[in-house]
Structure 1
Amino acid sequence: MAKKKKIIVIEAQRIFRKNKHGMDFVALEMIRSLQQLDWFNQYIIAVGPGEDHCLTATENFRIVVLESSNYLVWEQVLLPRLLKKEQAHLLHCTSNTAPLRMHIPLVLTLHDIIFMEKKIGNNASTYQNLGRIYRRWIVPRVLKRVHKVITVSDYEQQNIKAAFPQLSQHIITVYNGVSPRFRQLSSFSDSRFSALENRSYWLLLGNTDPKKNLKNTLCAYAYYLQESAFKKKMLLADLDQEHLDQLLGELDLHAIKEYLILEEYIAHDLLVEVYNKAFAFLYPSIRESFGLPLLEAMACGTPVITSNTSAIPEVAQDAVVYIDPSDISSIGDGMLKLENDAILYKTLVGKGFVRSAQFDWNQTAAKTLDIYEAVHLSK
């Protein structure tokens, strides 16, 4: 019996926006790899309006822009309308939520259920709070209709099964990949980084989400400066000056300001340069469903200091220095340990190359395609 060609709609609502986040890049990289893998089925990539046209259509991959900046309208009205118009056979929603009214099989990528858990801290904006409320309301309802759930680590799979036991036979782990763009560089295009001495600073992505543990890390850096004979500076990326000043005042850490290099915005394409120049990457997050940045740093030959919590040990294994993210001295001692042990440093560089090479977007796309085929066969 001949294989039947399917019309598959992939929701990638936010990939055209300029300031993308983790889930957006996961969707984008998976789709790009799927384009190289599957020339048989027909795909419609549903995106929202935005300036960064980062995905190119191919013969069997068509991009459709649904013109609404209102996420609720986009997902619950315009996306179902597109499915009906295109007579789609399958919908893959890539970022935790999906339409409630479905007449075709649904594959849902559920990166995590952090929104169902007790909040860590209270720094969320009104927009973030509304998003959390929306996800808490809609995800349990969508999960009653889903055909297959993809998540990004075995750690998160166990969390989801515990919260939603009915998914035990419908959930699968598909790891994220590492783009080949993340590699060791011999030259640098951005003057901000070409002027910096190679391996001269600690790198911290300054996300204000409380689970990223920025306050403890700044306190740990102050402890490091007291104890270190080298006193390397720290580059804080993606944090604005006003928020940094507020934090330094709150924590009484104005003395460390002269050691901080602040870059309020770094385009994702330039992150490879930032990783390459860093002495080490600090990733002391309290809660991660995967932890893609630590693998990107490893692929650039940059050692990582990271937390012994959540999915991080599953992803990083023995290729990092582990710390307790709730313990300021543990973070600081981890920094001092790496700085003072040249053999450890060299060992982690080598282990990082090996570990990061095990995560490939082509593998992610191949496993995703297998899921599409299995869902189709079960119907």
Structure 2
Amino acid sequence: MDFVALEMIRGLQKLDTDNSYIIAVGPGEDRCLSETRNFRIVVLESSNYFIWEQILLPQLLKKVKADLLHCTSNTAPLNMHIPLVLTLHDIIFMEKKIGNNASMYQNLGRIYRRWIVPKILKKVHTVITVSDYEQTNIATAFPKLREQIVTVYNGVSPRFKPLTAFADPRFASWEKGSYWLLLGNTDPKKNLKNTLKAYACYLQESRHQKKMLLADLDQAHLDKLLIELDLHAIKEYLIVEEYIAHDLLVQVYNKAFAFLYPSVRESFGLPLLEAMACGIPVVTSDTSAIPEVAQDNVVYSHPNDINSIAAGMLQLENDPDLYDSLVAKGLARSTKFDWNQTAAKTLDIYEAVHLSK
């Protein structure tokens, strides 16, 4: 959600030189945005998100006499008296949980969203969401909002592109096409357990037995999973990078043979577009918003069917013509999603809200 907000704001900075913006951020050393003539950054000094959002942010709105508030990450202040635009990426927190390995922080966040979002939606002017799939979900759960929901697609940063040179020596030394790439998110909906099982099935059938790189996954967590799943035999085929900075992901994508994205539930699926933009084909799920975003430019499998995921991997590996066609189609598809378009549509919403006051 943070990356979506950052890219959208950067797009607005290029597009809108007339309106005045105040970007409220939390404390910390990271400086991801720069001020411009009409974009000012204000740090609200609290690491407690409830205090930041429900106390400090309303105080700022009153102080600066804001005309409109856009909250970009699902929640917003309850105590406000100006029009609210809310980006509601999904309502997964309102649905039955998938798995049960969330941290206390994640569980508290889920409780907070379940409590506050229905209250906010009674006051919101416009809800932005990131796919038609999610728009339907929200409208089904909150029928009175149906006419207030707008789909605004995410974009792909231009830094995600095919590379010929690799700045980081770790990636420069890897053979191109030598591994499958999996982002090692431990959220149950990302389907890590089934993917590891499917990879074991793939190894049994593959003539090439390509390794699998798990990015941003703790080695201790992986070792625990391999014991739980009785998959010790695949450990020698796994490459673990416990931390890869986001600006280095383009190099990791580029060196991969293909990207695995067998998620159970996505409101959009930005990583699959990033992989496409780097010229890497994708094996992904036939569920949620993924077909809307990927269309016929990927190999589909069912996330709950281990054999289906393995079959998708083998199909891509054994069919060079399919592989080459998906590289070309993926590159073309990724160009349809642009952060400048996201910013332009967002600005249109701001102006419509302002005119309706």
Q: Secondary structure at the match of 2:21?
A: strand
| Alignment correspondent of 2:89 | 111
Among 276, 279, 292, the residue aligned to 2:257: 279
Gaps of 5+ in 2: none
Among 54, 72, 80, the residue aligned to 2:32: 54
Q: Secondary structure at the match of 2:69?
A: strand
| Alignment correspondent of 2:215 | 237
- Residues 1:160 and 2:138 aligned together: yes
Q: Secondary structure at the match of 1:150?
A: strand
| Alignment correspondent of 2:281 | 303
| Alignment correspondent of 1:144 | 122
Q: Secondary structure at the match of 1:322?
A: strand
Tell me the CA shift for residue 155 of structure 1: 0.1
Among 86, 89, 109, the residue aligned to 1:131: 109
- Residues 1:323 and 2:301 aligned together: yes
* Distance in 1 (alpha carbons) for counterparts of 2:80 and 2:170: 49
1:84-140: CA deviation from partner (whole Å, max 9, x where unpaired): 000000000000000001110000000000000000000100000000000000000
1:180-206: CA deviation from partner (whole Å, max 9, x where unpaired): 000000111111111100111000000
Q: CA RMSD in A?
A: 0.4
* Distance in 2 (alpha carbons) for counterparts of 1:331 and 1:193: 26
Among 2, 6, 9, the residue aligned to 1:31: 9
Give, as a single letter, the amino acid of the residue that structure 2 aligns with 1:33. Answer: G
| Alignment correspondent of 2:225 | 247
* Distance in 1 (alpha carbons) for counterparts of 2:80 and 2:334: 38
Give, as a single letter, the amino acid of the residue that structure 2 aligns with 1:154. Answer: D
| Alignment correspondent of 1:17 | none
Give, as a single letter, the amino acid of the residue that structure 2 aligns with 1:101. Answer: N
* Distance in 2 (alpha carbons) for counterparts of 1:109 and 1:214: 28
| Alignment correspondent of 1:352 | 330
Tell me the CA shift for residue 44 of structure 1: 0.2
* Distance in 1 (alpha carbons) for counterparts of 2:32 and 2:86: 23
User: Which 10-residue stretch deviates more, 183-192 or 127-136?
Assistant: 183-192
Tell me the CA shift for residue 52 of structure 1: 1.5
Following TM superposition, the consecutive aligned residue runs of length 4 or more in structure 1 with deviations greater than 6 angstroms are none
Tell me the CA shift for residue 168 of structure 1: 0.8
User: Which 10-residue stretch deviates more, 183-192 or 128-137?
Assistant: 183-192
* Distance in 2 (alpha carbons) for counterparts of 1:87 and 1:187: 49
Gaps of 5+ in 1: 1-22
Tell me the CA shift for residue 54 of structure 1: 1.0
Give, as a single letter, the amino acid of the residue that structure 2 aligns with 1:184. Answer: P
* Distance in 2 (alpha carbons) for counterparts of 1:169 and 1:342: 46
Give, as a single letter, the amino acid of the residue that structure 2 aligns with 1:159. Answer: N
- Residues 1:199 and 2:216 aligned together: no
| Higher RCO, 1 vs 2 (CA within 8 Å, ≥6 residues apart) | 2
1:281-327: CA deviation from partner (whole Å, max 9, x where unpaired): 00000000000000000000000000000000000000000000000
* Distance in 1 (alpha carbons) for counterparts of 2:306 and 2:30: 39
Paired residues, number: 357
* Distance in 2 (alpha carbons) for counterparts of 1:163 and 1:109: 16
Tell me the CA shift for residue 25 of structure 1: 0.2
Give, as a single letter, the amino acid of the residue that structure 1 aligns with 2:319. Answer: D
Give, as a single letter, the amino acid of the residue that structure 1 aligns with 2:36. Answer: T
* Distance in 2 (alpha carbons) for counterparts of 1:343 and 1:51: 48
Give, as a single letter, the amino acid of the residue that structure 2 aligns with 1:206. Answer: G
Among 361, 365, 368, the residue aligned to 2:339: 361
Give, as a single letter, the amino acid of the residue that structure 2 aligns with 1:229. Answer: R
* Distance in 2 (alpha carbons) for counterparts of 1:262 and 1:194: 17
* Distance in 2 (alpha carbons) for counterparts of 1:61 and 1:92: 14
Tell me the CA shift for residue 353 of structure 1: 0.7
Tell me the CA shift for residue 51 of structure 1: 1.8
* Distance in 2 (alpha carbons) for counterparts of 1:168 and 1:185: 43
* Distance in 2 (alpha carbons) for counterparts of 1:246 and 1:238: 16
Tell me the CA shift for residue 355 of structure 1: 0.5
Q: Secondary structure at the match of 1:255?
A: helix
Give, as a single letter, the amino acid of the residue that structure 2 aligns with 1:239. Answer: L
* Distance in 2 (alpha carbons) for counterparts of 1:198 and 1:245: 26
* Distance in 1 (alpha carbons) for counterparts of 2:266 and 2:189: 8
* Distance in 1 (alpha carbons) for counterparts of 2:99 and 2:126: 32
1:226-264: CA deviation from partner (whole Å, max 9, x where unpaired): 100000000000100110000000000011000000000
* Distance in 2 (alpha carbons) for counterparts of 1:53 and 1:34: 18
Q: Secondary structure at the match of 2:257?
A: strand
| Alignment correspondent of 2:165 | 187
* Distance in 1 (alpha carbons) for counterparts of 2:221 and 2:49: 27
